[in-house]
Chains A and B, each alone.
Chain A
Amino acid sequence: EVQLQESGPGLVKPSQSLSLTCSVTGYSITSNYWGWIRKFPGNKMEWMGYISYSGSTSYNPSLKSRISITRDTSKNQFFLQLNSVTTEDTATYYCARGYGGYSDLFAYWGQGTLVTVSS
């Protein structure tokens, strides 16, 4: 069974970078699509981007200048980096796997990790 687990700092200072890891078990990240989605206080959800089985990426244009999604296939992990964070980046961050061979809907999700941006 595929399982995803987010990890990283729960508190980041404004203007710094947010870095999260998604560790995947039960499935190789060299197959399918792997994404990041966040949920803001108040329940708004935002798709951030994905990395594909081949390593290609797609990002939400509203984040494009600040976001990077990379991977380490030897560890079966993929990563989110979001630069120049502000308090508006405070959210619960989820990693997820695409459904079947699709990038556009999400079948498996991590439990989520709350990241607070505050000085």
Chain B
Amino acid sequence: NIVLTQSPATLSVTPGESVSLSCRASQSISTSIHWYQQKSNESPRLLIKYASQSISGIPSRFSGSGSGTDFTLSINRVESEDFSIYYCQQSYSSLYTFGAGTKLELK
């Protein structure tokens, strides 16, 4: 199984800061990584596909980068609605797996 390690587990920030969330794969997965946001009591929302491709309707402050084993979700100037959990998910192997999540919280 491909293991995805997300760091940090929790990130405390103030609105207006820019942040980077990391996702590291246990083997090279090209760009087969996708990012989701899950707010409390809501279902996950797809933010970024295939490492860096944007999704229609997602604010432009969200961006993704990386290839191989190291991936980053960046949020430019965090807004109050962004405080939630962020997951990465790989689809390089036919057994899709998720990272454990990074919780973005208000400092």
Chain A, residue nearest B96 (CB)? A47
A61 located at the interface, meaning its Cβ lies under 8 Å from any Cβ of chain B in the complex: yes
Which of the four size classes fits the interface of chain A?
A: 10 to 19
Asked if A119 is at the interface of the complex by the 8 Å CB criterion, the answer is: no
Chain B interface residue count: which class? 20 to 34
Interface set of B (CB-CB < 8 Å, partner A): 32, 34, 36, 42-46, 49, 55, 85, 87, 89, 91, 94-98, 100-101
B-contact bits for A35-72, CB 8 A (1 contact / 0 none): 00000000111110000000000101100000000000
Count CB-based A-B contacts (< 8 Å): 44
Give Cα A94 to B98, complex, Å: 14
Query: Interface digits, A85-98 against B, CB 8 Å rule (1 contact, 0 not)?
Result: 00000000010000
CB distance from B92 to the nearest CB of A (A): 9
Assess A105 versus B87: contact at CB under 8 Å? Given A45-B98, A47-B97: no
Query: In the assembled complex, which residues on chain A have CB atoms less than 8 Å from the CB atom of B96?
Result: 47, 104
